Structures are given as structure tokens and as C-alpha cells.
Structure 1
Amino acid sequence: MTIRPTAFASGLALMIAAPAFAQEVNLYSYRQPELMAPLTDAFTEETGIKVNVAHLDKGMVERLTAEGDRSPADLVFTVDISRLAAVVEAGLTQPVQSETLEANVPAAYHDPEGHWWGLTTRARIIYASKDRVAEGDVTTYEDLADPKWEGRICTRSGTHAYNVALVAAYLHHHGEEATLEWLEGVKSNLARKPQGNDRAQVKAIWSGECDISIGNTYYMGKMLEDEEQKEWADSVRIVFPTFENGGAHVNISGVAMTKSAPNKENALKMMEFLTSPKAQEIYAEANYEYPIAPGSEPAELVASWGEFEADDVNLMDLAELRPQALQLIQQVDFDG
């Protein structure tokens, strides 16, 4: 007598395999492996859930769209509100509601509908030459358009996501006409054509090409840990500018659950872990960022840079202004 597998037997095999599959979660991340490892290791140690991470340089939206309902991804982890918003706007996420998430993440740092949740922030600040810029010479983003800075400002491309977010914030506070005028003023103050990354601007200050630059706070920590770049970092100080009617512009790293998450329960556990003070402090220390969970503290080095009042606009509001901000940047030919 020949025994053939039955549908029941096949189903039983799946049931037997299910517990192992249920103890994992799959993450697509734009963040470097060395920054993610402390977090994923801590989560696995605490929960026993294995984390599989696919590190992407670009194309997250395209990959998730191509995979559709068959995507193995449970969570996406990325930096910058524009990248988070792009995944949401493509219809690739699902709303998540959780008392733990609500308690850990202030309202300004999550999507009102729950599609993404913030983890850590970084401020978009001014790096100022210690030798050529006096204390108090620049205090607001509006100051960057002052003619006294003609030929003294360096920045990366105006169309980079970090600068588009800053312009969106300016647009939120001042409206289109004033933002266009401000962009023209900043462009006229540039010491050179926008180029390179945020660290390259600090190097330019060190070499005397310019006196101030626009950059993210965490690059100071990155430069200080690099033997060659430490000299650049030592040549500048961090200034936390504000908007005249607001606070300092911040951007965010965040997490979202995919629309087709195959391990939804484990994905929620990981989201709640990532927003916990413990996890945020691990991540913030590894990348010199600011944790946002109540009761959490930045690393000692980050705290030494000074305190600032973050702008309280919800970042999703800024995300909606991105297309208009980019249009204004292109209208003044900022990078030309």
C-alpha cells in the first residue's frame, strides 16, 4: 500500500513549522548595519524574536511595490520624514494603534493616523567657525539670508531631503512669498555652489572657504570619532537656530508597519521596543541623536552641545509641504 501526503498532512507540517516562523520579524532598513545591530540584538535578547534585516541603499518604495502582498517585510526603518512619508503615500503601510506607542512617542513625532512612529531626532543646525563667527552673530534660520553672510555660507544640495525638509518648515512658518525671498537671499550668500555632504561643509569652514554651514547635529559626533575629521569638528561650534516664530527644526528616524506584514504581532512588539526609553537611548548613543521617549536622555557628548527648543509642528504637516518646497528650491535654481 502506497501512502501519499494528504492535505491534512501538509497542513500539519505547516502547523509544526509555524512556531519557528512566528518567532521572527523582517525589517527593511536604510540605516547602516552597525547602527542597527545594537538595537536588533537587544530586542532578540529581551523577546527571543529573531530579527532579519535587509539593508537598502535606496529604492525601498520600489521594492515594496514590486513585492506587493508577497513581501516578507514586516517593518520599514528609515531616516527623514520625506522617506517615511513616501512609503506611506505609496500605500505600503498600515495604521498601528498602541497605548505603549502613544505613551512613548510625543504627538509631534508620529503620524496622526498611526502609519509611522518616530524614534530619535536630530536638529538641522548651523556649524559656525570658532575663529571667524562671534557668539550671537547668527541665531535664527531667517538670519541666513542676511547680506552680512554674503560669500560666507556652505551647504549641500538644496534638493537633498534634509534641506527640502528645512525649506518645508520655513514654508510652514512664513508662507510661499517669504520662503522664495529667503531662498534667494541664502543662495546669494553662498561661498560656493552646493556640493558634498554635511561633513564636507564643515571641512570647508576648517579650510577657510566659508564661515558657517547648515548640517545635522549627529555629524559632529561622527567627525569627532574620525581621526582625520576631528580637526574639522574642532574648528566649529554648534549653533541651534530657531524660526522667529518657532523652535529649532528637527528631523526624525522612524518605523512603520508594512501593509502586508506576515508577522504582525511580532512587528508590533518590535515597534513598542524601539520606542522604549531603553532602545531609544541605545540607538541615540550609537548615532549621536536625541531620544524622544519621556524620561530618556541623550548621550553625554550630545548633551554637551547644549539645549534647544524643538519646533512643535507635526512632521507629517511638513511632509505634505515637500513638493511645494522642492518647487521653490528649483524655481530659484538654488544649486545652479
Structure 2
Amino acid sequence: MKALITGATGFVGQYLASYLINNGYEVWGTTRINSREINDIQAMEIVSVDFDDIAGTIEVLDKIQPDQIFHLAGQSSVRDSWTNKMETFQSNVNLTIQLLEAVMQSVVKEKVSILTIGSSEEYGGFDTSGTPISEETLLKPTSPYGISKATVGMLVRHYFTAYNLKIIHARPFNHIGPGQRLGFVVADFSNQIVEIERGHQENIISVGNLSAKRDFTDVRDIVRAYHLLLNQKENFAWGESVNVCSGIATSIQNILDSLLSLSHSSIDVVVDSEKLRPVDIPLFTGDNSKLKSLTGWHPAIGLTQTLNDVLKILRDQS
């Protein structure tokens, strides 16, 4: 089995590549940079692709002839989308269209199955009743990032219904894990804690909104779900969207308290108004029943283990 992963050298991409390789896949990853130095996974082949060049993308697809494409490439920061709207839509929407158009003109059109990656941000302004968000919930994205991902989900339905392309759209909720870059809540908190432990930062941690509740899932469970979605034995949901989430809401305050309990340093907490989002939804809890029904997936890694692993990898860095 051959898999092509766009954005393969990113946080989720590297976990997915390792998972697929360990499951017997031949894995190719795309990058705009023609360098093998960015590839930390030696068994993954890296190929330079510019999706703006449809002819060049078709050539790559015809050469590799992947059985599956996991389209992870894109702008992944909600916060950055507020100040970089055009870049967000170019990365998340336009490049997706160009990839799918290349697939339509390649030799793999009839056999390849494709997974695109959306976000819980597509649901946007959801009420605070506590009802888990299902795939049938009306999309009301409130961030430029969420709007861009909702557009990708609509494109997935279009390419399936119009061209019978075997494609499915995953809507992951908050995913966390070792190696996540700064700009995401667990990575930011953990980095500050480790810097304090090293004596490189005053014993004060700067935070944004702590009351918001989010549905957190370990990245290693996320990539397992992605794999299962393209390997369903029955009940294929081509053209549809599927939530990938734990189904449990955890407050940012609880995340912070848990991380602080894993540190031996005494740390004070202060709120930084610059870290508050222009729009911040108080509650996001996902309904993962569709994913479970389609694949039998269940999260296997608990929150405490994830946070321990995040701190460990940061502490081990010189």
C-alpha cells in the first residue's frame, strides 16, 4: 500500500507517516522545499511539490501512484488566521482545489482514496447547553480559519457528488502531543513550565482564557483515526465529514492545573490580555459516534499520559 501525505513534515504529518510505515505502508511526503534534511523519518520518501503547478503535481501523482492521499498541508493556526486571512485561504482552500484537480487528471483518479483535514472550528458559534457537537450541527464558523476549513468540507462533497472521487473530510477537535509547535495551548504552557524549571524564565506563566472547555485528543490517536477512515471495511462515507474527537470536554484551567501538578517548581499564573482571542467559544465537545460506527475507533491515550509525554520531550531537549 502506498500513501502520499501532504504536509508530511509537520506535527501531525510526522506522526501519521511513522504510524503508516509501522503498518507496512510505503510512504511519500510532499514539501515545497527540495531537501531531505527536513525529513526526520528515514523510511519516508520526500518529494518536492508546488501545488500551484498542476502539471507538476500530476506528474508526481502519476509517478508515485498512491493508493491513499492524506491531505494535511495547510495553515493550521486559528490565531494567525485573524491577521493572515488571504494566506489562510490560499493554503487551506486554493491549494486543496489544485490538488484535487491534479488528482482528477492523473492516472490514480479511479483508485485513490483521499482524506482532507478540517477542524472543529467549522462549527463556530455553538450554544453552551453541553450537547456534544455532531456532524449534523449547523456550521457557523467564527474565525477565518474555521471558514476556510468549512469550505474544504463543502469541496469534498462537491468532488464526490460531481466526479465520484473517493474522498472524506475529517473534522478533528483539539489535538495535542509531544513535539507540537508553540502557538497551541498545551505547547505554550508546557514550554513556559520547562523554561521556568531551567531557570530561564521568571516563575510566572502567562495565559489567556482559562474558562473555555475543549475536546482534546492525543495526536497519536488522531492519526490512527485518519488511517481507519481510509480503510473502512463497510459503511463508506465518501463525500461526508466525520468528527475525530474524544467526546470529553476539558477546561483550559484543568489542562494548566494538570501541567503545574507535574512540575516541581512553584509557579504563579497571570492573565495576558494579548492572548485573548477576538472571538472565543466557551464550549466545544464533539460527538464521535459516527467515527466509532464507521471504524470502531476509540481513544487509547489518556490526558495525563499526553501531558507527561509533552513535558518529557521538552525536558529532554538540550
Same-fold call, TM cutoff 0.5: no
How high is the TM-score relative to the length of structure 1? 0.32
How high is the TM-score relative to the length of structure 2? 0.33
Q: Larger Rg: 1 or 2?
A: 1
Q: Which has the higher contact order (CA 8 A, sep 6+)?
A: 1
